[in-house]
Amino acid sequence: MYVNDVTKFFYIIDGGMLLHRLKWEKNEKFTHICQRYTRYLRNNYGTGVKVVFDGYNNDGTKASERSHRYITPDDKEMFFLKPLKNNTLQQVYSTKTMLMKYPNITKNHLFFIHAFAGFNTTSAFYNKEKNNFIKIFNNDQKLRAAAETFMVEEQSEEVLLNEGMNCILTIYGAKTVKNLNEIRYERFIALASKNKSVQISSLPPTEDAAKQHIKRVYLQVQQLKNNTLIPPEEWGWQKDNYLKPIKMKQPAAPINKKWPSPACIVCSGSDCDNHPPLEEDEVFDTQNINEN
């Protein structure tokens, strides 16, 4: 649905959106920035607005507003607004309309869908839109069963990783391959054989990177369910003055790997020690999950 009269709604605005909409000027004072924010919000959304900035602890106002977004009474309807861009009308998505359109998805499934496909604290898969994931999820009973395992408090890490890996394989259309590293390698070879540059971000994530993503998904789902007793450091985060996501624990490429060259007169590319080992700072982070 499209919206012409924005005053009919009460809005909860993600503060990050304002950073994209209003560019800070050099040497601009915070007072002036706040005034511009206020004018922008009143002009575009009226007076029924609450802005939520990130960076709070679980017991802060951010967590409270997340609860308002997701723990909505059945007799209420939640809308998600796609902001105005150029001359395009603002578009609003309704949770009730979505659940009617996808009858196999329940409200509880939304916790998992939103966290797994990309959230404030989790990663998004490159070029894998959330709308497409919703369609796949609605038609795949195994995905819906996997989502249920993320709802369980004190769920075992082994179960979560197994179900989460299967979800990622499904997203990338794997039918016979049961290993992310294997399908990543196959996709790379298929693209490289076309003599085109390979965009690493388009490949499935490494299995090591996927494990950390799955852990953060479980933590986020539990926090959305108001279970705040899980220590983040055990679920994909590390603390160094502040919490940072663990991207991966293994190097993106073997540091001492032999790299045969077809031009080598010794082995003709089959196996060669002539190429020097990669230095540690030459190993690029090739994971394809974009951190938020």
Q: Is 195 left (phi over 0), alpha (psi -120 to 50) or beta?
A: left
When the pLDDT of each residue in the chain is averaged and rounded to a whole number, the result is 76
Note the pTM of the prediction, 2 decimals.
0.69
Q: What pLDDT shows up at residue 253?
A: 67
Higher-pLDDT residue of 14, 275: 14
Contact at 8 Å (CB) between 64 and 45?
no
Domain extents for the chain? Answer: 1-101, 103-250, 252-284
pLDDT band at 2 (very low <50, low <70, confident <90, very high): very low
pLDDT at 121 over 90: no
Of 51-55, 103-107, 194-198, give the lowest mean pLDDT range.
Answer: 51-55
9-61 confidence digits (pLDDT tens): 777 777 777 877 888 888 889 899 989 989 988 888 888 888 877 655 544 33
Q: What is the mean pLDDT of residues 183-189?
A: 88
pLDDT at 93 over 90: no
> Count of CB atoms within 10 A of residue 175's CB?
8
Higher-pLDDT residue of 151, 199: 151
Q: Which sign does the torsion angle of CA 184, 188, 190, 196 carry? A: positive
Q: What is the mean pLDDT of residues 51-77?
A: 52
Q: Which residues have CB under 8 Å from 114's CB, separation 6+? A: 70, 130, 224
